[in-house]
């Protein structure tokens, strides 16, 4: 996952209750240059969407987001998730993923949470909700103290501020839902998704080469 993110350090969020629409959305993102996707567990069909993407979209690297519990973690890994993302820091979830050698990015927004993540052996975490938690200035403050930590800011990231976040050296990638607009997907306009993905890739290249 992290190797792929060096080429396109943006992780789109897949929020769907329809497996076919989810797969078409992922293919549109891949066509635009974004291979790493996060299927968020925010619908009743999210697990099925995750499994379908993992099975039928071989060009994508599929992870699960909004993983809230140990049961969630066990199920998403069973369904094919190759990485796990949580909105908060749960020690039980972290240790289970570590035992399965599955990358886990728990969400943090305070120094105390970040220090706990560090002492659990983690070196990359999700910074969430990035916009409300202080954005780029907060990330710079964290990286000055936690020099070994890397971050994936999510929540409030958009095309307008993506370059600012990616300019922070310790930001490994940014997550965002702006890349998968529900209104466009609902009418089958996957070209719009591909365009947004391509624009994000170009922004990333302008910052990181």
Q: Is 126 considered catalytic here? A: yes
Q: What are the two backbone dihedrals, phi and then psi, of residue 109, each rounded to the nearest 5 degrees?
A: -140, 5
The token pair that represents 186 in the structure block: 């609902």
Q: Which residue of the set 91, 100, 126, 170 is catalytic?
A: 126
Q: CA-to-CA distance for 86 and 67, rounded, in angstroms? A: 5
For residue 139, which of 178, 108, 103, 101 has the smallest C-alpha distance?
108
Pair 154, 126: CB distance under 8 Å: yes
Q: Is 183 exposed, middle or buried (0-12, 13-18, 19+ CB in 10 A)?
A: exposed
C-beta contacts of 167-170 below 8 A and 24+ residues apart: 167/136, 167/207, 168/136, 168/139, 168/140, 168/143, 169/143, 170/139, 170/143
Q: Is 38 considered catalytic here? A: yes
Q: Which residue of the set 6, 38, 75, 113 is catalytic?
A: 38
Instruction: Please identify every residue annotated as catalytic.
Output: 38, 126
């Amino acid at each position: 996952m992290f190797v792929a993110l060096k080429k396109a350090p943006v992780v789109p969020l897949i929020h769907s209750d329809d497996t076919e629409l989810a797969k078409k959305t992922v293919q549109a993102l891949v066509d635009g240059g974004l291979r790493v996707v996060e299927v968020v567990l925010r619908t009743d069909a999210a697990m099925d969407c995750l499994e379908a993407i993992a099975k039928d979209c071989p060009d994508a690297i599929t992870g699960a987001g909004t993983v809230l519990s140990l049961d969630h973690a066990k199920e998403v890994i069973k369904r094919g998730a190759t990485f796990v993302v949580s909105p908060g820091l749960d020690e039980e979830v972290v240790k289970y993923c570590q035992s399965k050698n599955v990358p886990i990015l728990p969400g943090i927004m305070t120094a105390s949470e970040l220090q706990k993540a560090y002492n659990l052996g983690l070196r990359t975490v999700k910074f969430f909700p990035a916009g409300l938690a202080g954005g780029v200035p907060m990330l710079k403050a964290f990286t000055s103290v936690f020099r070994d930590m890397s971050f994936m800011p999510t929540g409030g990231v958009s095309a307008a501020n993506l370059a600012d976040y990616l300019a922070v050296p310790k930001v490994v990638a940014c997550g965002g839902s702006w890349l998968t607009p529900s209104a466009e997907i609902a009418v089958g306009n996957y070209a719009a998704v591909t365009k947004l993905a391509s624009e994000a890739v170009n922004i990333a290249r302008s910052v990181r080469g």
